[in-house]
Structure 1
Amino acid sequence: MGPTAFPAWAAPTQAQPHDASPDTDHCPHRVSPPPAVDESEVVAPGSTTPSPLPVHSPPVGGEALGGCGVVADSSAGRVPERLTSAAWLVADLDSGAVIAAKDPHGRYRPASTIKVLLALTALRSGIALDKPVTATADDWSAEGDSCGMGPGGKYTMRDMMIGLLMVSGNDCAHVIARDLGGVDATLTKMNELARSLQAYDTRASTPSGLDAAGMSTSPYDLAVIFRAAMQNSTFRDIIAMPNHPFPGYPKRPDVPGDVDHPGYLMQTSNHLLLEGDPGVLGGKTGYTDDAQKTFVGAVKQDGRTVLVVQMYGLSTADDNYWDQARSLVAYGAHAPREAKVGELASTSDERATTSDGERASTSDGARAGVATTEARTSQGVAYQDSTSGWSVRILVGLVGLLVALLLLLLALRLIRRR
């Protein structure tokens, strides 16, 4: 069935059927997300609504992922019940194997999960995390969730990155976009990065995830983007933080009766992390009226790192969205290692895995200083790999050997003349 303005399955006060997940078998969202329930995607007069992104053929990740219903390896057992999300995906973060999914390439709105793409874009651009930030009126008046910046506050770009990922601060997203050259330049960089990751269902229309015309992604794409982000040590550190002291700011002289605004302990919106679930590596939440609830995250359970994505779903009266996430994690953790219906697209800059299966990546200091391999790759600049470096060394060695031989021959001739 196609979604209505207020789907019955989304109402949190009504009794729900055993499995309230919308039927997507007939691919209602293969090209575009569900219809908007408000006017957030109405373009300004004189502007043109962006055309839907082309549907990639063959489907990225494998032919089985081209289906729109549930696709799962039978060896993994029965998929979790009572899922309200129209689309979801379970994968092995380390191997990239997709264990099961529902409408994996269906187009949905990302809401604030798109901030993962913004964060990765900023980190690959070599953002200086210790750089001081001066908040502007445009920053602290940003629509939606915020970290609570104000005039006179002393912030760093690190505070902005943490606020972006921890509490979905749209004010932080505005600051980061300004640092990347402005909103338009940032969106261009974000969308170029998505294409380089083979996330072809993804188009960022706002840096923060606020709904706007043309915005879309898919469970598959979110998994690919999050997996790429988890290869970055700075991202991994931030996404795993349950809380962070966010600076305050002094009273505003332009506001009568205002008082000082003290700093506060910011807490993550990821309830798996906040509630102390074991093995949680981190995740990113999102919600708008049009996107409904979205989530992407990873949990290490029973020796396996499980990546889950949920899109276009809600909690119900007797079925919490976080419990649904837990059931997807448990399903992936208990699946046989060989269970696989597809695979997440790999990136050209994936690092070698360490002994515990985690990805090695460039240090924060290197990112804040000279351009890293990741930054150069994202800008399309060629760089030498280790093989090329050895080739140069061998060539220099051969030239040196030739010079030595010539000198030896010259010495022998001089000896003979004597």
Structure 2
Amino acid sequence: MSIRRYPHRTAAMAAAVLAAVAGLAFAPLPGLATAQPSTTTTPFTTPNTDSCPNKTSPPPPIDTSEVPEPGQTAPAALPIPSSPVGGKQLGGCGVILPSGAGALPEGISATAWEVADLDTGKVIAAKDPHGRYRPASTIKVLLASVAIPALDLNKTVVGTQDDANADGTRVGIGAGGHYTNKQLFQALIMASGNDAAHAIAAQLGGDDATVGKMNALAKQLQALDTRAATPSGLDGPGMSISAFDLALLFRHAMTLPLFAELIHTEQVDFPGFPADPKNPDDKDHPGFPIANDNHLLYEYDGAIGGKTGYTDDARQTFVAAAERNGHRYVVTLLKADVRPFRPWEQAAKLLDYSFALPSGANVGSMPDENSKTPNSSVALASPPATDDAVPGGDLRGDQATGNNHTLRMVLIVGGVILVVVLLLAARRMSRRR
């Protein structure tokens, strides 16, 4: 696995962690999912999908998140195309590799995955590419594709209490705060803020109208396994995506310069918001830094960036891209686990494997956005040059619950450091006496 490290950032990262501990140790953790993945030590086996268990619909939900509202009914399963989008081979449900390819790396827990060439559209390798799963926050890729062209990036909007009350991961929008649309997209793409998704959807006509626009774009792009039920990726009736579609949607989003910039941005400052006038004890809330929640960006040589996701029903989801030897590949993971490796590490293994295959090896192709024929290339935006911003993406939360554990560990370590400092200070005072 090609891993990169940044020794010159160590001191800055430590300072950021300690500052976060000071601010968070004695306050409720904002925006973290309440349900946690299993911590059992039972050995994990990659699910077998050879029998096409998810050909029509995602696996059954484990909670009530997809129960329709009173008076409404759950939508029917999406139609299955007569011919698999991308080519005949991609109609398979198990592992699909090009001729002569070697064994896959061990430790891939994702139930479905795909690696494809961002520039040519060729699908390099896949597992259950058209199997239907839930996207979690990776659906924000589709929301960004709808909203970025539609909204004025310089327009300032005022945060509402409804934004602040959004379920799931929140970046920290507050009622009365002033935010440009570009800042809302930073919060959406970098920190997976559901409050930012709500503020963006409100400008597009509300959640229902926004979901309608997202689904219309998905259909236009021939992402026929995809149906959004919420703008943010929270599970809802009919929510669906496939590993193939997620790569296709990411490729389209990469044609937008702002999206390409933000998935590659490590850290930015985010505005605070005023005190609640109805609460005499409340005080103004200062601004704070937000960091990209995608660990592949910090750890993998040639990483371009991507998006993470997690819900109880979707489990771990992931999409990211990297460049090597003039090739830019996108990797997608659906219904993954943090065992035996975290999603970004599984993605790194699949990228290493795919980059090592002979040039031109493929099992299919993504379609042209404006036709029903395979595509040779699209005009992709490039991310800006890598900067030296300090990574710290776990400190504001991520729907990928593995990051929640990281935050808890940060607080524990910070507490231990504090105790040690106090003990040393007491010892010095004792010696003086």
Task: State if a TM-score over 0.5 links the two structures.
Answer: yes
State, as a whole percentage, how many aligned pairs show the same letter. Answer: 50
Counterpart contact for 2:368–2:375, Cα < 8 Å: no
Q: Which residue of 1 aligns with 2:190?
A: 166
Q: Which residue of 2 aligns with 1:75?
A: 100
Structure 1 Cα separation of the partners of residues 58 and 277 of structure 2: 46
Q: Letter of the aligned partner of 2:318 in structure 1?
A: F
Structure 1 Cα separation of the partners of residues 235 and 381 of structure 2: 34
How far is the alpha carbon of 1:256 from its aligned partner? 4.0
- 1:135 partnered with 2:162: no
Alpha carbons of structure 1 residues 352 and 159: separation in structure 2 relative to 1, 3 Å: farther
Give runs of aligned pairs for residues 42-53 of structure 1, distance below 5 A: 42-53=67-78
Matched residue of 2:132: which SS? Answer: coil
Q: Letter of the aligned partner of 1:311 in structure 2?
A: L
Larger Rg: 1
Counterpart contact for 1:246–1:263, Cα < 8 Å: yes
How far is the alpha carbon of 1:80 from its aligned partner? 2.0
- 1:97 partnered with 2:116: no
How far is the alpha carbon of 1:332 from its aligned partner? 1.5
Deviates more, 1:179-188 or 1:291-300: 179-188
| 1:14 maps to which of 26, 36, 41 | 41
Structure 2 Cα separation of the partners of residues 136 and 97 of structure 1: 44
Q: Which residue of 2 aligns with 1:146?
A: 170
- 1:278 partnered with 2:301: yes
Q: Which residue of 2 aligns with 1:223?
A: 247
- 1:322 partnered with 2:378: no
Structure 1 Cα separation of the partners of residues 342 and 59 of structure 2: 22
Structure 2 Cα separation of the partners of residues 201 and 352 of structure 1: 22
Give runs of aligned pairs for residues 270-309 of structure 1, distance below 5 A: 270-273=294-297, 275-309=298-332
How far is the alpha carbon of 1:169 from its aligned partner? 0.6
Structure 1 unmatched runs, 5+: 1-9, 362-418
Give runs of aligned pairs for residues 18-417 of structure 1, distance below 5 A: 20-125=45-150, 127-273=151-297, 275-316=298-339, 318-348=340-370, 359=380
Counterpart contact for 1:75–1:335, Cα < 8 Å: no
How far is the alpha carbon of 1:352 from its aligned partner? 10
Structure 1 Cα separation of the partners of residues 38 and 354 of structure 2: 28
Matched residue of 1:326: which SS? Answer: helix
Counterpart contact for 1:305–1:333, Cα < 8 Å: no
Structure 1 Cα separation of the partners of residues 58 and 178 of structure 2: 40
Structure 2 Cα separation of the partners of residues 52 and 193 of structure 1: 18
Counterpart contact for 1:109–1:217, Cα < 8 Å: yes
How far is the alpha carbon of 1:319 from its aligned partner? 2.5
Structure 1 Cα separation of the partners of residues 264 and 381 of structure 2: 16
How far is the alpha carbon of 1:360 from its aligned partner? 5.2
Alpha carbons of structure 1 residues 241 and 220: separation in structure 2 relative to 1, 3 Å: same
Structure 1 Cα separation of the partners of residues 367 and 316 of structure 2: 25
Matched residue of 1:90: which SS? Answer: strand
1:195-245 Cα shifts (integer Å, max 9, x gaps): 010000000010000000100000000000000111111110111111111
Counterpart contact for 1:294–1:312, Cα < 8 Å: yes
How far is the alpha carbon of 1:75 from its aligned partner? 3.1
Structure 1 Cα separation of the partners of residues 110 and 275 of structure 2: 44
Structure 1 Cα separation of the partners of residues 118 and 307 of structure 2: 15
Structure 2 unmatched runs, 5+: 1-36, 383-433
How far is the alpha carbon of 1:99 from its aligned partner? 0.9
Matched residue of 2:236: which SS? Answer: coil
Q: Letter of the aligned partner of 1:94 in structure 2?
A: D
Matched residue of 1:75: which SS? Answer: coil
TM-score of the pair, normalised by structure 2: 0.76
Alpha carbons of structure 1 residues 290 and 283: separation in structure 2 relative to 1, 3 Å: same
Structure 2 Cα separation of the partners of residues 103 and 176 of structure 1: 33
Structure 2 Cα separation of the partners of residues 352 and 100 of structure 1: 17
How far is the alpha carbon of 1:358 from its aligned partner? 6.8
How far is the alpha carbon of 1:151 from its aligned partner? 2.4
Structure 2 Cα separation of the partners of residues 145 and 319 of structure 1: 23
Deviates more, 1:147-156 or 1:249-258: 249-258
Matched residue of 2:305: which SS? Answer: strand
Q: Which residue of 2 aligns with 1:389?
A: none
Structure 1 Cα separation of the partners of residues 252 and 70 of structure 2: 38
Alpha carbons of structure 1 residues 360 and 169: separation in structure 2 relative to 1, 3 Å: closer
Structure 2 Cα separation of the partners of residues 92 and 244 of structure 1: 29
Counterpart contact for 1:131–1:157, Cα < 8 Å: yes
Counterpart contact for 1:69–1:103, Cα < 8 Å: yes
Matched residue of 2:129: which SS? Answer: coil
How far is the alpha carbon of 1:351 from its aligned partner? 12
Alpha carbons of structure 1 residues 345 and 245: separation in structure 2 relative to 1, 3 Å: same
Aligned length: 344
Structure 2 Cα separation of the partners of residues 197 and 114 of structure 1: 14
Q: Letter of the aligned partner of 1:247 in structure 2?
A: P
Matched residue of 1:99: which SS? Answer: strand
Q: Letter of the aligned partner of 2:231 in structure 1?
A: P
Higher relative contact order (CA 8 A, sep 6+): 2
Alpha carbons of structure 1 residues 119 and 265: separation in structure 2 relative to 1, 3 Å: same
Counterpart contact for 2:333–2:343, Cα < 8 Å: no
Alpha carbons of structure 1 residues 286 and 348: separation in structure 2 relative to 1, 3 Å: same
